[in-house]
Structure 1
Amino acid sequence: MTKLDRTDTEIQFDSGDSFCAATVYRPAGPGPHPMIVMGHGLGSVRQMRMPAYAERFVAAGYSCLLFDYRHFGGSGGVPRQLLDIDRQLQDWTSAVEFARTLPGVDSDRIVLWGTSFGGGHVLVTAARDPRIAAVIAQCPFVDGPSSARASNRVSAAKVTVRAVRDLIAARRGRPPVMVASAGRPGDAALMAAPDCYDGYLHLVPEGVPFENQVAARFGWHITMHRPIKDAPKIVAPTFFAICANDTVAPAVAAQRAAAATPRGEARLYNVGHFDIYVGDAFERAIMDQIAFLQLHVPTGTLA
């Protein structure tokens, strides 16, 4: 491990056929502390505003593990920019298993925090692991058909064409055909509402290597992905931070998922999908999330 100037540590852990790059944040004191395992959304990397959340969680007494999915960011995996749902869910399982082995971590108080597409992943992961202590799903993608109905039709048609080309390329052993993660209305992009392009790229810190594209085959699989089906199986208390004006992960679907979760609770914010990461919306969301954690996985430390 390489020690950094702050309270974080750059590490990696094994997952499947490769590894995930990660950052561990630790609060002061010997612990054991609860650990929040944190993963991002569609095509994103851990530097995209996740440290801002982690720093506030650490101030409240929680350790945090932020990781990149395989094929993205600092993680291994080829081809690059391959967004495979099953592989990402495997990365979540690997991250949780790794977190439980870390010194100073209470292995019985592991919390899942996922945003956007990762917000759906945490629901599936928690449904599979009854030891999870609590879950936070922020602007979560919970229902592929609902998101498909809300998408720009011209963009969706263009993505479908590229997805078919990419599936054919994969069968022939050729490099992936790419599609933009975020674009403007009418672009061949997975997210193409008016607020997507600027909102998404605004989250990328200056100087962080980043590619606004993924293998297009994902456009075929995303419409059939439905984490909402796993919500009734979750035994942990689960907080849904829902954006009322969400153009990517419709609020109505997220509210249905919250209602279907046995110990689910929801908070609605009058903002768009990308607004919750910054400014006043971020401040409201992070305070609500810390209050939820202190209630269900208390540390005795106030933020």
Structure 2
Amino acid sequence: MVPVLALLPAVIALLGAAIVIPWDKTLNTEPFPRNTTATENCGPIDDLQYSRRTVYFPSKGLQLEGWLYLPKGIEGRPPIVVLAHGIAGQKDMGLHPFAEVFAQRGMAALVFDYRNFGGSEGEPRNWVSPKRHLEDWDSALDYVRSTLGAEVDVRRIGLWGTSFAGGHVLVTAAKEGSNISAVISQVPHLSGIEASKKSLKNRGIPQSVRLFLAGLHDRARVLVGLPAAYLKVAGPPGSNSFMELPDEDMHLYLAKHPEHYMGGWQNRILARLANELSRYNPIHYVPEVKAPVLLVATTQDALCPIAVARRAAELNSNVQLLEKDVGHFDVYLGDLFEEVSVAQARFLVEKLGAIVPVHEPAEALPLL
């Protein structure tokens, strides 16, 4: 019988190989440095109805980049809506049209990128983490209150989040209490438990284990000082991507993206998120939210189940549920975007007490 100690070197060698070697062909360990080259869609805007300028503010020692929209044609300081994107999203991926609609109706808007995304500092790039994202939301609110008081009414703050950030705004609002005046939660991630169950059903046990092990591999590499390991954000079924999308959904997902990405974004995120998703359950915070909430959900959502959104609406009388019979990505584009964004603007105007300028809102600019 071989002594256990004699096997130890072989075991250590195997573990070391598992850490160093990307054993799964879907893992990507190539360097992913930040690209600071300006893109054509990141500059200032001086429109007849609003202005937009780039601003910077700190979060945990790094600088976050945001776009500050200020409405024209109103007296006094407007209320402000703070916006951010979902999983692996950044502000140049379809958030400008929403902020524009709000600015056209007398509200200021701050759209920001999380650390490690877009125009914000931080490496490794494309690090999605609920904890880090929530810290960045706190930093954005600190910036609004500490710096923007001369331009906006910091007593009237709204939060707007979509997909992953649809959960972040509910968690943030619950912590902020009466300091937040209104919340928009669009196609929100509400339950990591339910999302994991759905993923397990769609992928099967072997593929689900594969995804989880990829996350452990990424974490192990970091512990020994090796570059991070990435998986695709979105890909076809069976691709071991975080979002496994059929062709139609993939088309809609990419349709809101710009031709050139801020920060050099790529279709990949740190694999370690696979070990965090099931533990992030914003629905647990819904009963604590004091602000009025407009929750926009879609009945054909393959990523964020409609049943969870309905359950969330039942947990708090402040939550108003708006359902649309479409999929997760339909709300960003075309006629449905027009319908949903106007409904959101009306809700925010009412809850924030915004004064709508006398001019009629201009036709929305092309998606950036």
Matched, 1:144 2:192: yes
Letter of the aligned partner of 1:105 in structure 2?
V
Equivalent in the alignment of 2:10: none
| 1:159-238 alignment runs, 5 A limit | 159-194=211-246, 195-208=248-261, 209-238=264-293
Cα drift, residue 134 of structure 1: 0.5
Equivalent in the alignment of 2:92: 47
The CA deviation string for residues 183-225 of structure 1, in whole angstroms up to 9 with x for no partner, is 1111111111324432222221112232111100001101111
User: Which residues of structure 2 form unaligned runs of 5+?
Assistant: 1-42, 362-368
Matched, 1:9 2:59: no
Query: Which is worse superposed, 51-60 or 2-11?
Result: 2-11
Contact 1:238 1:261 in 2 (8 A): no
Matched, 1:109 2:156: yes
Cα drift, residue 31 of structure 1: 2.9
Matched, 1:27 2:79: no
| 1:231-250 alignment runs, 5 A limit | 231-250=286-305
Matched, 1:264 2:314: no
Residue 278 of structure 2 aligns to a residue whose secondary structure is helix
TM-score normalised by the chain length of structure 1 = 0.95
Contact 2:84 2:160 in 1 (8 A): yes
Equivalent in the alignment of 1:99: 144
Residue 140 of structure 1 aligns to a residue whose secondary structure is coil
CA distance in 1, matches of 2:175, 2:167: 13
Residue 189 of structure 1 aligns to a residue whose secondary structure is coil
CA separation of 1:275 and 1:156: change in aligned 2, threshold 3 A: farther
TM-score normalised by the chain length of structure 2 = 0.79
Cα drift, residue 58 of structure 1: 0.5
Higher RCO (Cα < 8 Å, 6 or more apart): 2
Q: What is the RMSD computed on CA atoms of the aligned residues?
A: 1.6
Cα drift, residue 173 of structure 1: 2.3
As a proportion of its length, which structure holds more strand?
1
Cα drift, residue 5 of structure 1: 4.2
CA distance in 1, matches of 2:237, 2:44: 43
Contact 1:184 1:196 in 2 (8 A): no
User: Which residues of structure 1 form unaligned runs of 5+?
Assistant: none
Aligned pair partner of 1:254 in 305, 309, 318: 309
